[in-house]
A and B are shown apart, each in its own frame.
Chain A
Amino acid sequence: MESSASLADKLASKTASNNSLDSSSKSSSLGSKHGQNGVLRDTPFAYLDGEEDQDQKNDVTYVCPYRGPVFGALTITNYRLYFRSLPLRDQEPPVVVDVPLGVIARVEKIGGATSRGENSYGIEIFCKDMRNLRFAHKQQNHSRRTVFEKLQTNAFPLSYSGRLFAFAHAAAASAVNGGSSGWDGWAVYEPLAELRRLGVPNDMWRATKLNESYTICDSYPAVWAVPKAASDDFLRRVAQFRSRCRLPVLSWMNPRTQATITRCSQPLVGVSGKRNADDETYLSYIMEANAQSDKLTIMDARPSANAIANKAKGGGYESEDAYKNVEINFLDIHNIHVMRESLRKVKEACFPTTDDSKWQTAIDNTLWLKHIRCILAGAVRIVDKVETMSTSVVVHCSDGWDRTAQLTALSMLLLDPHYRTVRGFEVLIEKEWLSFGHKFQQRIGHGDNKHSDADRSPVFLQFIDSVWQVSQQFNNAFEFNEHFLITIVDHLYSCRFGTFLCNTEAERVTEDLKHKTTSLWTHINSSLDQYLNPLFPSFTQGAELVLRPIASVRALRLWKGLYCRWNPGLCVPQHGCQRTRELLSKQDQLFKHVNELRLKSNNRSNSMQTTTRLASPMH
């Protein structure tokens, strides 16, 4: 919580802020940001620190799927592709395309030297953010070749032995600002502080730096919270029985009931049904650490068929015979390949055009909402176990870094209001996704031209979508708004910040991202106002402490604000919260006024005891 803000500031920020939101909430958060560090040259956009021109062509046609071909100038820098049409008529605003190169999944040449027909020769760009772009070049002037080459080398630097833009950006920024300025987003998550917030260490749980050099598990964080009863050696042995040594480690604890959520990977049971006494004992420690329940629930995120099939590969699941007082549930969430395919269909349905009369069937056929429903339903089941039954839950899938992260992060969000604030959500992503080794590099394919890599999958996007769905059902339970979530998704691909780079904490430490790149949270928290939800009551707690969203397709919606945002026809302008802001501002005005009046009258009438009261900090 922000401290020492004066009353006036606090009152002003909540309302003044929000006007910036209307203009940009629906559009991309990428192009519109003119940071103070931005250098304005004679181009229509503000260059970021470290951003340099790579190529510029003045006679390119952007084949816009909505407005038809428009003629203009194309600029490629080491960060973005920028196109601006030459205005034909005075009144018409120019068509602007501003895409960070990180968003690009694939660049292809279309048409050859012999192509006939208008705009049939050029470049087609496939983006990770649900759009394709097509630029037509003139065959004669060979402009296409350099554009194509520059795009390849700058969009896929890792395939051309280059470095991602985030490094150049941070280096240039620190040269300009002379090191760190203001608040550092890398500091948002302090593992020990977060554990302390949950009440760890306590009688049953301890924090350990056993994995400080990432030797026990290279995809786990340095700091773990584990049952006190388990010694370091014991932990080492347990790790051997879990896929990739990802043994059960604490994600969240209810400070009141001590019911916990722990996460891990599948046990290495195999076809023969191997047992491991240490693993069985370890799970019983987790169960015993919660005095409220003599049971332990294991949530296996996979469909049971997949869990069984994994036995052939040496994996599998805990048998209820081997593990005492354990019940296992399968949550029926499909794997990364299914999800990738589903999102591909969503893109097909949403871009470039939609058929309104078949819209609903088209969305239905993507199965995207059904997958979201499964994830939500799984999270709600975890919430029920932890909150209602006060039973501890162990969550895993196969490796415990995709579906497991979705489930733990989402159920923590539902259970703990702290994670529904901006800072709390940042902590949640840092903790459950980044530190526990969700393979962002692999899943997104930063700077890599292998666009059909089978390891790519929109797992994290699905999580953000689920959060959005919850926020639609509980409009005033979140401190942040839709724009915040879209911004996170945009920078998931942009490679401008270090936050989503690399696969594991260990890699990030090796790469020294904390010092060589900027955190996305630095960027977001420096202009927090535009990400705040006016419906989030500043003066009351959210209505619900524990959220139980409805996991039914009837209660879910396709996130048009994200998936359909490039289609100008599909983006209904949100009438949003104008009136809410007016009311808030009115209320705050009145409060301020009353405060002043009372201060005056108090000063007049009673000089003894008034001095400290109003000067006291907010929280």
Chain B
Amino acid sequence: MATGGSGAGSGSGGAGNDHYKRNTFTSYVAPLPGDMRATADTNEWCLPSDLRDVHLARPRLLPGEQIVASAPAYMYSPIEPMDSSINISHNNSNGNGMASVNDGGSHKEATFGLLSVTNFKLAFVPLHATSKRNPEAGVVTAPLCDLYQENTYLGRNEITLNNIDQIYTIAELGRAASALQAARMASHVSRRKKLEPFKQHNISGRIAALHIVCKNFRLLKFAFQQQDSKLSGASDHGKLIASALVRFAYPMRHDLSFAYAYREPYYSTLGPATGTSMYASKNDWARELIRCGATEWQVVSSASVPLLQNPLHAGKYTVPPHFVIPKSCTVDRFLDLSRAFCDSRAAFWVYSYGASAASLVRLAELQPAAQQDTKLENVMLELVRKCDERRQLKLLQLTDRLPSIQDVRRSYQKLRRLCTPETPEKFMLQDDKYLGLIEKTNWLFYVSLCLRYSSEAAATLRSGITCVLQESNGRDLCCAISSLTQLLLDPHFRTIDGFQSLVQKEWVALEHPFQRRLGHVYTAQGSGSGGSGSSGGNNGSELLEGEQSPVFLLFLDCVWQLLQQFPDEFEFTQTYLTSLWDACFMPIFDTFQFDTQAQRSKAVLDSQLVLRPVWDWGEQFSDKDKMFFSNPLYQRQKGDLAGAQSSAAGAGAAHRRSLAVGHNRGGTAGGASGSTPSRNTINPQLFATVSSVPQDRFLQPAHRICDLSVWDQCYYRWLPVLDIRGGGQPQVDLFHRLLLSNIAKVQRCLELQSYEELPDAYFEVTGESRSSLQKEETPVEDEAEYVDGVERRRKPTTKAGTPTNGFSPVSGNHLQLSSLSSFFPFGSPIAGDAPHQLYDILNSSSELLQDTTSILDKSSIL
């Protein structure tokens, strides 16, 4: 076992094995004296057999990933189900001992395995991944587990170091000689102590257990067994892990992130045809201007502004690489004005709506020094006003109306505390006055405010008046309100591609400081953000804790609320949103890793960072998991991407699409016919000036607190006690997918004029028996067929749906919908029906969802 190898790491482990090689990465904090104890391998011989086997439970490593420390440990489920008998039921009902395989935590005992800290993740690998008692059970359960979301880079019991927010040590009370005692300690909170980053922790006393609180609301609990080792004295596994975590989970510089160690080349599967616009080029912005019919605005690229290229002056400005400003204003004048504003954020155009192209504009506040003199602000607003057709403008000051980033952080921390109870007692205690506690977090209040002011902004644009959103630096809640406003107005942003473009535009391209807000870097000095990004309100003495704030999560929560209120208006599902939040802590993807574009470019230049957009979901998830991102209730509309091409007025949208694919319509694009489309600059002036955004599909959400609810999937999914088995939204989604799948299958049958592949539901409804029909053609029907590599087993109709409790009120021949749980595809897998049936439903329903022509249009076939 490698020790906490750093410069001084002369672990006594054998150097022959490659894992034992001296680590090459730098230590983040000087090693603590006395924590370089010998680890398990030296005294292996005196361990019980389980402990000796523990080395078999090695985590899977990525290229560039190295183990920093590892130790045998027990993992506990966050809190036990309130009634233990629930678990037994699962054993009874499915007979193959499912529950015992997947998480030992559902039995009162913990799972034993190897806990490792690497430079990328904290990984727990159970020693008995498949139960010894049930060797065949593993085979049976494997496909079912597949249905739950799996990440290419992370196992079920693994979290990235980025995700770790707080580490609590639970000190030993007496000696835990047995696992049972260790278990008691794991849930004991009285000696709970928080490990702070940067502090030199002299961890005194043995650490019996660790609680790790993740930024995505997960709580991990590990307990360590005391080793009486005659050879090396006490080997304190808890201390070993804790000190490794403190050093590696709170990096002080971004270039210590695993993103830099992971040098695998990236081959994008995001073809040029994908609709996600990265807003990384001038053309992306130009296309958006055209789509919105915004004629009074111009795109500026920093690279083509001499002033910004002048090393003497560039430092004064912190503008993004591309931005859109009023046409009536020269770039130099604009830059001159921008110096008065925080982070140089003077009036950036982001969106226009309606026939009169009323615009949505983001503006920072004046620099504290310049605040007495509002003249420059008035000049700026006057420039914006001139762009409005009716010369009207509404200034929405967000600072007064919305919580500060510190408010959001405090609220998030309170909310997370409610979602990560350590013990069943705490859970019940919270439950007793839950709504009151939720109210005290203010989280829903903030969500309500965001929805309220974005509705206000949307209403302003709808009435044809330009709306300016003003916030201190124009890069935090401004992003949230601005993107929500566009979601409310524009159905394009409610598609997956559109939403991703929106996040790119509002959050990435216009530089929401993700790195600071998500706490990717912990630094006591403000200098750590590594580049031109940090300036403005960011003063050095402030602890970076003060800069952390999950504004992006607040935004995702708002989107989720919209999804609840308008379930068929969005192409994506809540699973997509939850996965997006998780993806914020994947250092491998650069999308949410940086404060500014300049920082990102610098990282590429200086450290050869491989850029990998998070939108390439195939990098993380299988096709099956990606299918759960699409909403079965969503129906592609004529106004959406594909349809827009046929509409005459939608010239802009059509071009946005066709240009992305690289086909220029020679005539309209002004004879630009080069073979390399990327070099062509789109000139918005050559395009139709009418907005192609449909104006009859805006949303008007309810925004009072009593209209909102808690995002259970995202916040509660790590609490198995709240997982509704066989209920919740996933079951409803599955039902809709089944309907889609039936429709798709029948349509295929109609097209082929062959009725052998009719869906089971058909026979159910008509009361006809499939077996009588198929007697001639397929005598053996219990056999699995393989279609597209997916096993499709049709249920034998004769045996199908035999109710497990034997008193079906209606006659047999029933399909039984598979059971998913309410946190699906998160949460723990449960026994259910055969997953191949689910695959089948998934595949055939996706055919229709991907189909750009409306299903109902297809009825014309009849």
Q: Which residues of A contact B (CB under 8 A)?
A: 1, 7, 10-11, 197-199, 254-257, 354, 356-361, 363-365, 369-370, 373, 380-381, 384-385, 387-389, 415-418, 421, 424, 473-477, 535, 537-550, 552-555, 557, 560, 570, 572, 575, 578-580, 582-584, 586-591, 593-595, 597-598, 613-614, 616-619
Contacts and interface: CB of A to CB of B under 8 A. Distances in A.
B724 A555 contact: yes
Nearest to A538: B765
Interface string B565-580: 1111000000000000
B565 A572 contact: yes
Contact of B85 (A197, A388, A541): A388
B815 A539 contact: yes
Interface in B734-776: 734-736, 738-740, 742-743, 746-747, 749-750, 755, 758, 760-762, 764-768, 772
A255 B743 CA distance: 37
B228 interface: no
Interface in B409-448: 427, 431-436, 438-439, 444-445, 448
B853 to A, nearest CB: 14
Given A548-B86, A549-B724, A584-B739, A543 B731 contact: yes
B34 interface: no
A355 to B, nearest CB: 10
B722 A555 contact: yes
Interface stretch (B267-275, B593-601, B618-626, B700-708): B700-708
Contacts of A589: 859, 862
19 contacts: A198-B807, A256-B805, A256-B807, A356-B704, A359-B704, A384-B83, A474-B727, A475-B728, A475-B729, A537-B738, A540-B814, A543-B817, A546-B805, A548-B89, A554-B434, A555-B722, A586-B855, A591-B765, A595-B766
Contacts of B859: 586, 589
A360 B705 contact: yes
A387 B89 contact: yes
B232 interface: no
B750 A593 contact: yes
Interface of B: 83, 85-86, 88-89, 92, 427, 431-436, 438-439, 444-445, 448, 565-568, 633, 635, 702, 704-707, 709-710, 712, 716, 721-729, 731-732, 734-736, 738-740, 742-743, 746-747, 749-750, 755, 758, 760-762, 764-768, 772, 801, 803-811, 814-820, 822, 855-856, 859, 862
B814 to A, nearest CB: 5
B762 A591 contact: yes
- Tell me if A's interface is mostly helix, strand, loop or mixed: helix
Nearest to B89: A388
Given A381-B83, A389-B85, A587-B739, 8 more contacts: A357-B705, A384-B89, A476-B731, A544-B727, A554-B712, A580-B736, A587-B743, A589-B862
A614 B731 contact: no
A61 B766 CA distance: 57
A543 to B, nearest CB: 4
B76 to A, nearest CB: 20
Nearest to A474: B727
Given A360-B435, A360-B436, A619-B811, A594 B735 contact: no
Nearest to A590: B746
Closest A-B pairs by Cβ, 8 of them: A544-B726, A256-B806, A360-B439, A364-B435, A539-B764, A388-B89, A540-B815, A360-B435
A545 B805 contact: yes
Given A544-B725, A593-B750, A594-B750, A586 B862 contact: no
A540 B817 contact: yes
A427 B432 CA distance: 34
A583 B767 contact: no
Given A575-B568, A594-B746, A541 B732 contact: no
B705 A586 contact: no
B565 A575 contact: yes
Given A197-B809, A553-B435, A474 B705 contact: no
B89 A586 contact: no
A270 to B, nearest CB: 33
B765 A10 contact: yes
Contact of B761 (A417, A418, A539, A619): A539
A567 to B, nearest CB: 10
Given A363-B435, A589-B862, A535 B706 contact: no
B814 A541 contact: yes
B862 A593 contact: yes
A618 B769 CA distance: 11
Contacts of A584: 739
Given A543-B731, A554-B722, A616-B768, A354 B706 contact: yes
Interface-centre pick from A254, A415, A545, A588 (highest chain B CB count, 10 A): A545
A548 B750 contact: no
A365 B743 CA distance: 48
B805 A387 contact: yes
Given A476-B735, A586-B743, A380 B758 contact: no
B722 A552 contact: yes
A415 B89 CA distance: 13
Contact of A537 (B702, B710, B807, B817): B817
A421 B808 CA distance: 12
Contacts of A540: 738, 761, 764, 801, 814-817
B755 A598 contact: yes
A361 B433 CA distance: 8
A380 to B, nearest CB: 7
Nearest to B702: A572
Contacts of A535: 732, 735
A554 B706 contact: no
B702 to A, nearest CB: 5
Given A539-B815, A540-B814, A590 B83 contact: no
A546 B93 CA distance: 11
B740 A583 contact: yes
Given A418-B809, A554-B434, A617-B767, A544 B819 contact: yes
A616 to B, nearest CB: 5
A431 B721 CA distance: 33
Q: Which of B434, B712, B804 has the most CB of A within 10 A?
A: B434
Contacts of A357: 445, 705
A537 B765 contact: no
Contacts of B762: 591, 594
Given A473-B727, A614-B766, A578 B568 contact: yes
Contacts of A619: 767, 810-811
Contacts of B709: 557
A256 to B, nearest CB: 4
A543 B735 CA distance: 9
B711 to A, nearest CB: 12
Contacts of B765: 7, 10-11, 538-539, 588, 591, 618
B447 to A, nearest CB: 13
Contact of B750 (A364, A389, A579, A590): A590
Contact of B88 (A381, A388, A538): A388
B747 A364 contact: no
Contact of B433 (A364, A538, A548): A364
Given A475-B727, A594-B750, A572 B761 contact: no
Nearest to A477: B727
Contacts of B565: 572, 575
Nearest to B703: A356
A145 B92 CA distance: 68
Contacts of B726: 474, 477, 543-544, 547
B702 A618 contact: no
A505 B694 CA distance: 62
A111 B432 CA distance: 43
Contacts of B427: 552
Q: Which of A539, A542, A579 has the most CB of B within 10 A?
A: A539
Contacts of B740: 583
B258 to A, nearest CB: 35
A582 B706 contact: no
Given A541-B815, A586-B855, A416 B807 contact: yes
